Amino acid sequence: MSEEKINVVGINVLRQNGVDVDEVLKLLIYNASVEFAAYYYFTNLRAHCTGLEGEGIKGVIEDARLEDLSHFESCIQRIYELGGILPNDAMEFIRMSGCEFLQLPTPPTNLKEILKKCLLAEQGAIVNWNKMCNLTLGKDPATYDIAKDILKEEIEHESWFMELLYSRPSGHMRRKYSGERPHTHKHSRAISQL
């Protein structure tokens, strides 16, 4: 690329709006790493939901798992639009997520412990995306649009796991199919619609 500084109006306007672009970018890459790591760990947790009771839980974890993949995908285009890149080192990307707490419990098929981990992951994601909403509200509509759609799905995921753990009604039906991602499908169109 030429040494000449490229004039990126899509970033200039954000600065004029008072956005700290570096802070948004840093949080966006961090949130993407959490979604990516959670997708991986949910894959393993789901596989350990065994027995009669585990069968029903598998389906709920699957819905949340595929939506985490959608959340990761939803971040990518915006990271590059803002002038960022994903870390070259995948290990660094996973490490920055701090998601080691999602490793299998002891024993690995303890359903209640698996559900508690899932709930904790969803609650962390709510905090992450709420932070992004606050950083961008009224100043960066493109990033805000993504953040608020992901946040809505995370709030739904939290309610699913709370219902399973504590019988607190979630007030909604299961997804029509795993990967439906009702709020983020438009941000993750690279994943084909089932």
Is 154 among the residues that bind Fe ion (CB under 5 A)?
Answer: yes
What does the alpha-carbon distance between residue 12 and residue 33 come to, in Å, rounded to a whole number? 26
Is 180 among the residues that bind Fe ion (CB under 5 A)?
Answer: no
109 HSE (CA, 13 A, CB side): 9
Is 117 among the residues that bind Fe ion (CB under 5 A)?
Answer: no
Is 181 among the residues that bind Fe ion (CB under 5 A)?
Answer: no
Is 102 among the residues that bind Fe ion (CB under 5 A)?
Answer: no
Among 33, 49, 68, 144, binds Fe ion (CB under 5 A): 68
Residue burial 143-176, b: 16+ Cβ < 10 Å; e: rest = bbebbbbbbebbbbbbbbbbebeeeeebeeeebe
Cα 3 to its chain centre, rounded Å, is 36
Is 183 among the residues that bind Fe ion (CB under 5 A)?
Answer: no
From the list 10-18, 70-78, 167-175, 181-189, the region that binds Fe ion by CB under 5 A is: 70-78
Binders of Fe ion: how many residues, by CB under 5 A? 8
Cβ 56 to Fe ion, closest distance in Å? 18
Nearer to Fe ion, 20 or 170 (CB): 170
What does the alpha-carbon distance between residue 2 and residue 163 come to, in Å, rounded to a whole number? 55
From the list 14-22, 82-90, 97-105, 116-124, the region that binds Fe ion by CB under 5 A is: 116-124
The DSSP code for 129 is H
From the list 10-18, 21-29, 53-61, 154-162, the region that binds Fe ion by CB under 5 A is: 154-162
What does the alpha-carbon distance between residue 45 and residue 62 come to, in Å, rounded to a whole number? 10
Q: Which residues contact 150 (CB under 8 A, 6 or more apart)?
A: 71, 74, 125, 129, 183, 184, 187
Among 48, 71, 181, 187, binds Fe ion (CB under 5 A): 71
Is 48 among the residues that bind Fe ion (CB under 5 A)?
Answer: no
* Residue ranges binding Fe ion (CB under 5 A): 35, 64, 68, 71, 122, 125, 154, 157
